Amino acid sequence: MFEQHDREDVESLMSRDSEFRQLYHKHKELDSKVRDAELGVLPMDDVTLHNLKKEKLWAKDKLTVMWQRRKSAAH
C-alpha cells in the first residue's frame, strides 16, 4: 500500500500521525495474514478469511482518506 508514493512522504506522515502509523502497520499485518491463508501456510476457515479481507479493506480505505486529507492540506 502506498508503494506508488514517495517512501519519505509515507514515513513522514507515519512519524507525525500515530493513528496513521498504527493503521498502516495493522494493514500490513492483515495483508500478511491474508496472503499466508491464501497460500495455505496459515490454516483458516473461509469465514475468518473473509472477515480478515473485509478488515484489511476497511483499513486501506481509511488510510487512503487520511492520505488524501493530508495531501489536500499540503496544497
Per the structure, the count of domains in the chain is 1
Predicted local distance difference test score (pLDDT) of residue 7: 83
What is the H or E stretch that residue 75 is in?
none
Say if 3 falls within a structural domain: no
Say if 8 falls within a structural domain: no
* Domain that residue 53 falls in: 14-74
Tell me what the mean pLDDT of segment 2-20 comes to: 85
- What is the C-alpha separation between 34 and 43, in angstroms, rounded? 10
Say if 44 falls within a structural domain: yes
Render pLDDT for 43-59 as a digit per residue (tens, 0 to 9).
999 999 999 999 999 99
What's the gap between Cα 33 and its chain centre?
A: 12
What is the H or E stretch that residue 50 is in?
helix 46-74
Render pLDDT for 15-40 as a digit per residue (tens, 0 to 9).
999 999 999 999 999 999 999 999 99
- What is the C-alpha separation between 32 and 45, in angstroms, rounded? 16
Predicted local distance difference test score (pLDDT) of residue 45: 96
Do the beta carbons of residue 46 and residue 39 sit within 8 Å?
Answer: no
Say if 37 falls within a structural domain: yes
